[in-house]
A and B are shown apart, each in its own frame.
Chain A
Amino acid sequence: SQQGEEDPQALSIQEGENATMNCSYKTSINNLQWYRQNSGRGLVHLILIRSNEREKHSGRLRVTLDTSKKSSSLLITASRAADTASYFCALGGRDDKIIFGKGTRLHILP
């Protein structure tokens, strides 16, 4: 299956701490994307990293990609209550679809 697998499935941390989520996959990819989904809402795109890139930053977000290990990580620094959401990695291959994982549910404790 081309589906990515996020790890952990759920994560609870104190506000202000850093949160790290991982995504592993089995097939070759053109790009990997991370999305956030708040409860009852649609997905919001966070970062897209291409297969020839190793690291990208956007504000408090840092994404790494290791194609040799077929894995990616999303780091959220200095977490806030508003970061409470589900986070999904999505794999972009050669065809016209992206495949989402099952997600990591992040809960930021006040």
Chain B
Amino acid sequence: GAGVSQSPRYKVAKRGQDVALRCDPISGHVSLFWYQQALGQGPEFLTYFQNEAQLDKSGLPSDRFFAERPEGSVSTLKIQRTQQEDSAVYLCASSPRVGTLNQPQHFGDGTRLSIL
């Protein structure tokens, strides 16, 4: 019974390495969101997909961050040449309809990324 699933739950990488974080949204959900959450803070928006189309990537911190959702279901967030400030929890959320107007988002448990 499937909620939003994220993998891995924990990822440790050395500075400079590339990482890939996976999100399996609830089946049939049109909208998918990625957030970055620093310790003790609220989630910060990174990017939004409507099916396979990336409609908003205004929250991506730099061009080292790249997200895709090629078939409109599973999404991958890739971070190239990781830096220590990339250490955070990365949360994925999905919702059944387009956009955010008057609909809740369903969150996964996140991937905790630590850059050494």
Contacts and interface: CB of A to CB of B under 8 A. Distances in A.
Contact of A45 (B43, B101, B102, B106): B106
A96 B99 contact: yes
Given A42-B109, A96-B100, A101 B91 contact: no
Question: Which of under 10, 10 to 19, 20 to 34, or 35 or more describes the interface residues of B?
Answer: 20 to 34
A103 B100 contact: no
Contacts of B109: 40-42
Secondary structure class of chain A's binding surface, majority of residues: strand
Interface residues of A, number: 24
A39 to B, nearest CB: 11
Nearest to A105: B40
Interface of A: 3, 30-31, 33, 35, 40-45, 48, 50, 88, 92, 95-103
Interface of B: 4, 31, 33, 35, 40-45, 48, 50, 55-56, 59, 91, 93, 98-110
